[in-house]
Amino acid sequence: MEFTEWIRGRTDEQLRALVSARPELITPVPAHLEGLASRAGSPSAIGRVLDRLDRFTLAVVETLAVQDGPMSKGALRDLVGAALAHADDESTGAANAEASCTGPRANPEPALSAALDRLCDLALVYGPDDALELGPGVRKVLDDPAGLGPRALDAFRHHAPEQLDEMADDISPGTEGSGKERLAAALARPAALVQAVSPEARGALDQLVWGPPTGRVPNARREVRVDSARSPIEELLARGLLAASGEESVTLPREVGLYLRGGRVHRGLLALPPPLQGAARDRTLADRTAAGQAFSFVRSVEELCERWSIEPPGVLRTGGLGVRDLKRAAGELDLPEWVAALVIEVAHAAGLIASGGGVDGEWLPTSGYDLWRVRSTDDRWVTLAATWLQMDRVPGLVGDRDERDRPLNALHTDLRRAAAPGVRAATLGVLASAPGLAPDRDSVLERLAWEQPRRRGPLREQLTEFALREAEQIGVTGLGALSGHGRALVEGGDAASVLAPLLPEPVDHVLLQADLTAVAPGPLTSELNRWMTLTADVESKGGATVYRFSESSIRRALDAGHGGEELVSMLGRHSATPVPQALSYLVTDVARRHGRIRVGTASAYIRCDDPALLDQITADRRSAALRLRRLAPTVIASRSSRAALVDSLRAMGYAPVAESLDGDVIISQLDSRRTEALAPVRTASAANGLDPEVAVAAVRALRAGDAAHLSRREPVDSPSGQVPRGPATATISALQEAIKQGVRVWIGYLDSQGNATSRILEPARMEGGYLTAYDETRAAVHRFALHRITGVAGL
C-alpha cells in the first residue's frame, strides 16, 4: 500500500489526531492529502516528530529501520522482546530488575501495541500488521539507527572497483558478480570471517558493536590483502569487517554489527520509564512552602519596578544590564545575584520593564506594570509563572561567558535558547508524574533521557538544572515537589484559584518603635508597602520586615509631595502602637526645614525668604566649589546645574527643594517615570498540541481539496496530441472569459528553455502582461507571462 493512499484512508478523527500531534504539517494547510503526505515525509518534519518519541517507541522505529522492507508485527515483537529480556548493561540493569515484575518485559505485546498505535497516529509507521513499513524519509533521517553502521553496499561505495575485486577474491573466491556484490553477499553471513580473525582484532570489533559504529585509525584507506595483514585493524580491513569511510576513519558494516549482537537490534530496553528516586514530601507543607515563595517572588518583582521607577539603570551599548547594576539590584532586593537575574528577566519577559527614557536608554517600568500591580497577588503570580514557563530566555546563563569569552549580561539578547520552554515543560511534566515526591537531579535527568532520547546533551542537562531551581524560587514547586497550583499551571487549569487560599493574608499595619524603626508583622498590603518603601528604608527582611526612618527618608517622602502633617497622620492610622514622640519630632523638624531654600535654573539660583540662612550658606567653605554670587538679599546665583546644586546643599545639611521657572515646587513622584507599554517579549510555546477547532477546520479543508483534486478531469487532447495552441487574441479572450466565470482551463506554456508544457489553471487576474492563477498541477499560486502561453483549451 502506498503511503499517500494510506493517509487518504485514515478517518477524520485519525487525521485530526495527526495534525494535532504534528502541527507543522498544516503550517500552512496543504491543498490536498497528497500534499500532506509529502510534507509528512520531509526531513525537517520527521526530525521534529522523532525528537518527541520516548526511548521504547524510538527503538521500535529503529528496529524497523534496520530491515530491508516491510516487517510483520510478530517478527518485530520477537526482536523487541529479545532486547527487553537482555537488558544487562550497567545503566539499565537495576531499573529493568524492578520493571521485570510489571509485565511489559515478560510480555512485550501491550507496550509494542501501544507504541505502534502511537507511531501510526504520527504517520511514522503504516500498513497492516503483517507488513509494517516506515513512512517515506524516516530511514534517511535515522543515520545510524540503534548505533548500527551503514549497510555493506553503502559502506564500500567510495572504494575503487579494483580494490573491491581483490577483497572479494580473498574472502569469497570462486563466486560470480561484481566485487561490491560478492563482498556484500559474503558480509551477509560473516560468521566465518569473524571467526578467522585474531583475538586482538575481535576485541577491536567488540568496541564498536553497540555503537558508535565508527572509529579513527591512521591511513585507513591503504590497500591490504588478507595474507599481508600485520595488525588487528589490517586484518579487519582486509576481510571487509571494517570499511574505510575516510582517510583516518573506519565504520562497522551493519551486517557485521547485527551478527556480533547476536541478532538483537538493541542491547537493552525499558518498556516503562525508569522510576524516580527522591524524598517524599507532605503535599500540604509543599503547597504552603511554594505559596510563600510565590508571594515573595511577586513582591520582589514589584519592589524591583518601584526602585527602577526612581533610579533606573542604564542600557549597555551592547544591550542588556550592567554587572554593577545587577549587583546593586541584588543588594536592594536582598537576593542572590542569580535570583535577582531571574526576577529581572521574568519581569522583562512579562512586559513590566523595558528600555526607554533617552538617547542612551534606561531600564524603566512600563505602563503595563501599573495595570499589573493593581491585580490580586494570585493573578499577578500566574502572569509571571506562565511567562517563565513559555519564555525562551535563560536567566541561569547570566554571568557565564559566550563562545567569544564575553560575559552574558542580564536582559541581553544572547540569553535566548529555543529549547528552554520545552525543557521547562518536560521537567515539570516529570515532577507532575510523581505527586508528593521531590526527585533528585540525576533521577530527573534519567527520566528525561528516556522520554526524549534524541534531545540529550550538555545544554539540555544545564537547562534542566536551571528549571528545577527556578521553579522552586518562583513558587511552582515547594521543597522540591510540584505544588497544587504548579500542577494547575502546567495542565492549563485555574492556578490562581488554587493558589489564592494558600497565600499569606496581607496586613495593613506596622509596629512603630521608639528607636525610629517600624516592624511589619507580616506581608504588607500593596499600597502600604509602597508608602513604607517611600517613607523609610528597609533595614532587614525575614519573618518580619524592619524599616528605619531617617532624615533622608522623610525628605524623600516630602519631595514626593506629602506634607508633614499628612505623614504623621498616615503613621498614626497604620500603626498598631502610638506614634513615638521621637519619630513625630523628626517628621515635624524635617518638614519645617524642608523647602525653605528654593533652587531654580539660572544656570541655577538659590532663593530664600530668610537672608540670614543665605548668609550662612555663602559663609560656608564647602560652598566655594558652587561659585555662588549674591544677587539680592534673598537670591543667590550659581553656575552649577539645578540638580547638582540641590544635591550639594543637601550634603551640606540643608533641605532645599527644586522649583520650576514659574516658581512652583517640583514634586518627584515615586512612579512618575515610565516607558511605553510593550507586548511581552517573544516566547516559544512548549506545547505540541493544536487548538481542536483549528484541527477540525484543517481536516475539513484537506478533505475538500483532496476531493477536488481527485475529481479533476483530464484535459481533452487536441487531435494532434500536442498542447493547446492558438492566436494570441483568442488566448487573451479565453482567459478573460475564464476569469469572469471562475472556471478552470488547460493552457500550453513555454518554459525558460522553450520547452512546451501543459498546465491546468484557475485564472484569477491579468495585469501588466502576466496572468495570476492557481496552478493545480503544482498546488500553488503562480504568475505566468502572457507571451509564453501558446493557447487555451476548455476542460
| pLDDT at residue 87 greater than cutoff 60 | no
> Can you give the pLDDT at residue 702?
86
Q: What does the pLDDT look like over 706-720, one tens digit per residue?
A: 887 776 544 444 444
Instruction: Encode 92-120 in three state secondary structure.
Output: HHHHHHHHHHHCCCCCCHHHHHHHHHHHH
Task: Give 114's pLDDT tier (boundaries 50, 70, 90).
Answer: very high
pTM of the model: 0.73
SS3 658: strand
Task: Give 780's pLDDT tier (boundaries 50, 70, 90).
Answer: confident
Task: Give 555's pLDDT tier (boundaries 50, 70, 90).
Answer: confident
C-alpha cell at 64: 524497523
**Which residues, 6+ apart, have CB-to-CB distance to 114 below 8 Å?**
none
Task: Give 424's pLDDT tier (boundaries 50, 70, 90).
Answer: very high
Q: What value does the mean pLDDT take over residues 108-130?
A: 91
Kind plus residue range of the DSSP H or E element containing 308:
helix 283-310
Lowest mean pLDDT among 182-196, 427-441, 524-538, 718-732: 718-732
| pLDDT at residue 348 greater than cutoff 60 | yes
Number of C-beta neighbours around residue 458 at 10 A: 7
| pLDDT at residue 99 greater than cutoff 80 | no
- In the numeric block, the cell 552574558 is attached to 408
> Can you give the pLDDT at residue 718?
43
Task: Give 98's pLDDT tier (boundaries 50, 70, 90).
Answer: very low
Q: What value does the mean pLDDT take over residues 170-188?
A: 83
> Can you give the pLDDT at residue 218?
84
> Can you give the pLDDT at residue 102?
38
Q: What does the pLDDT look like over 681-692, one tens digit per residue?
A: 444 443 445 788
Cα–Cα distance, 46 to 38 (Å, whole number)? 11
> Can you give the pLDDT at residue 431?
95
Q: Where are the alpha helices (DSSP H) in 156-253?
A: 161-171, 179-187, 191-195, 199-208, 232-238
| pLDDT at residue 118 greater than cutoff 90 | yes
Q: What value does the mean pLDDT take over residues 691-707?
A: 85
> Can you give the pLDDT at residue 384?
96
Q: What value does the mean pLDDT take over residues 747-753?
A: 84
Q: What value does the mean pLDDT take over residues 724-740?
A: 85
Selected residue with higher pLDDT from 663 and 755: 755
| 387, HSE (Cβ side, Cα atoms, 13 Å) | 24
Q: What value does the mean pLDDT take over residues 244-260?
A: 88
> Can you give the pLDDT at residue 545?
83
Q: What does the pLDDT look like over 593-608, one tens digit per residue?
A: 887 777 766 668 888 8
Q: What value does the mean pLDDT take over residues 13-30?
A: 90
Q: Name the average pLDDT for the chain.
A: 84
Q: What value does the mean pLDDT take over residues 440-447?
A: 93
Residue type, 688: N
Number of C-beta neighbours around residue 730 at 10 A: 11
Q: Where are the beta strands (DSSP E) in 293-391?
A: 353-356, 362-365
Most confident of 104-113, 544-553, 635-644, 702-711: 544-553
Q: What value does the mean pLDDT take over residues 213-240?
A: 82
Q: What value does the mean pLDDT take over residues 506-511?
A: 86
Cα–Cα distance, 271 to 95 (Å, whole number)? 11
| pLDDT at residue 105 greater than cutoff 70 | no
| pLDDT at residue 92 greater than cutoff 60 | no
> DSSP characters for 516-583?
SEEEESSPBPHHHHHHHHHHSEEEE-SSSEEEE--HHHHHHHHHTT--HHHHHHHHHHTBSSPPPHHH
Q: What does the pLDDT look like over 624-680, one tens digit per residue?
A: 888 787 888 888 888 787 878 888 888 888 888 888 776 777 765 544 566 765 555
C-alpha cell at 190: 560473516
| pLDDT at residue 738 greater than cutoff 80 | yes
Q: What value does the mean pLDDT take over residues 325-346?
A: 93
Percent of the chain with pLDDT over 90: 29
Instruction: Encode 503-520 in three state secondary structure.
Output: CCCCECCEEECCCCEEEE
Task: Give 311's pLDDT tier (boundaries 50, 70, 90).
Answer: confident
Sort strands 597-600 and 656-658 into parallel, antiparallel or unpaired. Answer: parallel
